[in-house]
Structure 1
């Protein structure tokens, strides 16, 4: 019989440290052509409101699922996250419904896990990193957890446009990490000198300038997931070695890439490859110590399906969730 897993269930069953190696395996399979995943379908349902459908099929482990995701920019006024998601997991042998799983936390955690995994391949080796985070929402929180799990981080500087938000972020997250956190006075103040930069914003315009980013820095960009948006200075994108999660997805959805090509700043060949290709050894990652690298993440259904399958498997083992009869 189908099982319902709410957000509390999922948080108890799956952690970011679980997801880092899982995302590595999953994205390697994606880039090897071992999964089935079309481009997501996105419908506009009003100003600043979008509804996406993200199906995928995995072979190892065998899993079939679809994520239904909504992005309502002004949900915070109702005390709700801007991104909400539900994952429908089906039996790959029969097509029967296995589970309905809250996908909000999975989206938050798998994105950060994939980013941290990619940064491990693309960042310059150092004994201790300095991390800058632009943004103060759920993705900023999950990326702080993921990056401090994967790397030795000496200090974190955080900036977002609203002073109370960034100070609240620092005060809240200081309770869950031993890494010193500072609310920066500006985006430039946060980014200058950082070896790792995370952009987790809802901005439609660039939030950092190329001149702020020192040679050898690795930049992670998880915002600006629509063609009309960009969160990076186009000069930075043109300057860096550019790696994505999906080449097809990036050329169809990433404003940072689509607009840069349209403006003649670079061509499609500037996109060096997918992170899964690096994991598989098909292409190299960082080519020089002083090279700036970018991982542009749009998020993919295969990530959601892999994480949902893990949550469901553990829920069955632990008898967690609510079993229903349809």
Structure 2
């Protein structure tokens, strides 16, 4: 304990889920992510996830000290298997210069915003620069957010969507057909969505954790986006598809290699995943050349605290300039050591 502490000069801001919804902006989120991945980063700035758990509850911490921006912080994810699984997300932001608490943000919507924004940036870097035929596997929140974000950076020739529930895939097709300049149709199988597609977006968890797309469905020069296998027990892409890939671009290479069920299974089946996986930052900076027109290119995401913090800073800045959020009546003490 010390008596040299002081409270922040500016009260911390709390952003509710409604505030985040009002402030979310795809262009600003994409710009924030691109800026983060084209700055000089290191593993010490954004280490891997920290887990604490018991049979009944768990907590995951995703910290980051981005090279870009004025703020640092962490996203905390808390889950409880009480009467049912319930999960809460909280992002805390601190000033780099003063260590003052700047904001607490409900992270419920931030995860989807930052994940899809990063996918858009990563996919643009490896997909052909022409109108694309897109196959979407999934019709839920992730599929919707990712197709929306991708539309900001890519041009579509047509979009085909499959999910197991007919009404869901038809609603997805109807909604996006009205939003996009390209036709969007619902198809009756994942194969029909993927075959002949320039870009295959995998955004659906399989019920039995088996791959949702098969290697033989994917063309020799397709781009594949995989965002649904983020833990060792989850599967989305088969090892045979990864064996055909020329490159796997990862937002968090260490976690993709060691924490994604797809890459773990591929290694077990003899795929040299270490030579395949490259960092998104290296591709964006031009350090790792990728032929956007030849070979199967995979974008693989497990998420990162870096994405959370830079997007949260964008939301905080917009909140201050546009009058959103709730100033807290108290703050935490910052002390000299």
TM over 0.5: yes
Q: Is the 8 A contact 2:319 2:325 kept in 1?
A: yes
**Cα distance change of structure 1 residues 85 and 169 upon mapping to structure 2, 3 Å threshold:** farther
Whole-Å Cα distance in 2 between the matches of residues 84 and 152 of structure 1? 36
Q: Please, which of 45, 62, 67 is the counterpart of residue 70 of structure 2? A: 62
State the Cα distance separating 1:303 from its structure 2 match.
0.5
Q: Is the 8 A contact 1:110 1:304 kept in 2?
A: yes
State the Cα distance separating 1:21 from its structure 2 match.
2.4
Whole-Å Cα distance in 2 between the matches of residues 104 and 221 of structure 1? 21
**Cα distance change of structure 1 residues 191 and 61 upon mapping to structure 2, 3 Å threshold:** same
State the Cα distance separating 1:171 from its structure 2 match.
3.4
**Cα distance change of structure 1 residues 145 and 72 upon mapping to structure 2, 3 Å threshold:** farther
Q: Please, which of 259, 271, 286 is the counterpart of residue 253 of structure 1? A: 259
Paired position in structure 1 for 2:25: 15
Written as runs of structure 1 = structure 2, the 5 A alignment for 1:284-303 is 284-286=289-291, 289-303=293-307
Whole-Å Cα distance in 2 between the matches of residues 172 and 320 of structure 1? 29
Instruction: Select between 148-157 and 172-181 the one with higher mean Cα deviation.
Output: 172-181
User: Gaps (5+ residues) in structure 2?
Assistant: 1-10, 331-337
Q: Is the 8 A contact 2:29 2:314 kept in 1?
A: no
> Secondary structure of 2:298's match?
strand
Q: Is the 8 A contact 1:83 1:104 kept in 2?
A: no
Paired position in structure 2 for 1:29: 39
State the Cα distance separating 1:84 from its structure 2 match.
4.9
Does 1:107 find its partner at 2:111?
yes
Whole-Å Cα distance in 1 between the matches of residues 139 and 58 of structure 2? 22
Q: Is the 8 A contact 1:29 1:35 kept in 2?
A: no
Q: Please, which of 163, 167, 171 is the counterpart of residue 168 of structure 1? A: 171
> Secondary structure of 1:132's match?
strand
Q: Please, which of 26, 38, 55 is the counterpart of residue 47 of structure 2? A: 38
Q: Is the 8 A contact 1:14 1:310 kept in 2?
A: no
Whole-Å Cα distance in 1 between the matches of residues 58 and 230 of structure 2? 12
State the Cα distance separating 1:3 from its structure 2 match.
1.0
**Cα distance change of structure 1 residues 27 and 35 upon mapping to structure 2, 3 Å threshold:** farther
Q: Please, which of 138, 142, 149 is the counterpart of residue 141 of structure 2? A: 138
Paired position in structure 1 for 2:270: 264
Q: Is the 8 A contact 1:225 1:253 kept in 2?
A: yes
State the 4+ residue runs in structure 1 displaced beyond 3 angstroms.
42-47, 70-73, 171-179
Written as runs of structure 1 = structure 2, the 5 A alignment for 1:213-232 is 213-232=218-237
Larger radius of gyration: 2
User: Gaps (5+ residues) in structure 1?
Assistant: none
Written as runs of structure 1 = structure 2, the 5 A alignment for 1:108-123 is 108-123=112-127
> Secondary structure of 2:71's match?
strand
TM-score normalized with structure 2 length: 0.86
**Cα distance change of structure 1 residues 212 and 284 upon mapping to structure 2, 3 Å threshold:** same
Q: What is the CA RMSD across the aligned residues, in angstroms?
A: 2.5
Q: Please, which of 233, 257, 264 is the counterpart of residue 238 of structure 2? A: 233
Written as runs of structure 1 = structure 2, the 5 A alignment for 1:265-284 is 265-271=271-277, 273-284=278-289
State the Cα distance separating 1:143 from its structure 2 match.
0.9
Q: Is the 8 A contact 1:201 1:224 kept in 2?
A: no
TM-score normalized with structure 1 length: 0.89
State the Cα distance separating 1:252 from its structure 2 match.
2.3
State the Cα distance separating 1:174 from its structure 2 match.
4.0
